Amino acid sequence: MNREDSLKALRLGTYLAFLIYGIFGILDFFMLPVNYRTAWFIRYAFVLPTSGICLGISYLPKAERFAPALITALLIAGQTGILAMIITASPGEPAFLGYYSGLILMILACEFIFRLPLKLTIIFFILSITAYTITAIFIQNILDEDVIANGGRWLIGNLFFMFSAGVISMMGTDRIHKEKRISENAKLQAEQANSMKSSFLANISHEIRTPLNGIIGYSKLVAEDNISSNNRSSYLEIINYSSNQLIEIVDSILHMAEIETGQTELQLQELNIEEFTGDIISEFSLFAENKNLDFLFNCNIAKKQLIVKTDAQKLRFILNNLINNALKFTDNGSVTVKCFIVATLLTFSVTDSGIGIENKFLDDIFKPFFQVNSGWNSRVRGNGLGLSICKSYCEILGGTIKVVSYPGKGSEFTVQLPLLTRRN
Phi, psi of 76, rounded to the nearest 5 degrees: -65, -45
For residue 421, the one-letter residue type is T
- Cβ proximity to ligand ADP, 174 vs 358, nearer residue: 358
Task: Single out the residue of 55, 109, 57 nearest to residue 78, CA to CA.
Answer: 109
First-last CA distance in the chain: 62
| Residue 35 vs 353, nearer CB to ligand ADP | 353
Whichever of 6 and 321 has its CB closer to ligand ADP, that residue is 321
Nearer to ligand ADP, 235 or 366 (CB): 366
Beta carbon nearer to ligand ADP, 64 or 248:
248
**Measured from the CB atom, is 325 or 416 closer to ligand ADP?**
325
CB of 390 to ligand ADP, least distance (A): 7
Q: What are the φ and ψ backbone dihedral angles of 276, each rounded to 5 degrees?
A: -60, -50
Nearer to ligand ADP, 8 or 367 (CB): 367
**Three-state secondary structure call for residue 91:** coil
Non-local (6+) Cβ contacts of 88 within 8 A are 35, 38, 39, 42
Residue numbers at the binding site for ligand ADP (CB under 6 A): 321, 325-326, 329, 352, 354-357, 365, 370-372, 377, 382-388, 411
Q: Nearest distance from residue 338's CB to ligand ADP, in Å?
A: 15
Nearest CA-CA partner of 95 in 144, 36, 151:
36
- State the minimum distance, in angstroms, from the CB of residue 371 to ligand ADP: 3
User: Which long-range contacts link 206-214 to residues 24+ away (Cβ below 8 Å)?
Assistant: 207/249, 207/369, 207/383, 208/246, 208/249, 210/242, 210/245, 211/242, 211/243, 211/245, 211/246, 211/249, 212/242, 212/246, 214/238, 214/239, 214/241, 214/242
The smaller minimum CB distance to ligand ADP, of residues 135 and 377, is found at 377
Q: Measured from the CB of residue 245, what is the shortest distance to ligand ADP in angstroms? A: 10
Q: Which residue is nearest to ligand ADP (CB)?
A: 382
Minimal distance in Å, beta carbon 352 to ligand ADP? 5
Q: Which of 52, 42, 66 is nearest to 13 (CA)?
A: 52
Pairing of strands 334-342, 294-300: parallel
**DSSP codes, 351-385:** EE-SS---GGGTTGGGSTT----STHHHHS---S-
Q: How far is the CB of 206 from ligand ADP (least distance, A)?
A: 13
- Least separation, in Å, of the C-beta of 314 and ligand ADP? 15
Residue 113 C-beta-side C-alpha neighbours within 13 Å: 22
Instruction: Report the C-alpha gap between 161 and 156 in whole angstroms.
Output: 9
Whole-number minimum distance, CB 217 to ligand ADP, in Å? 23
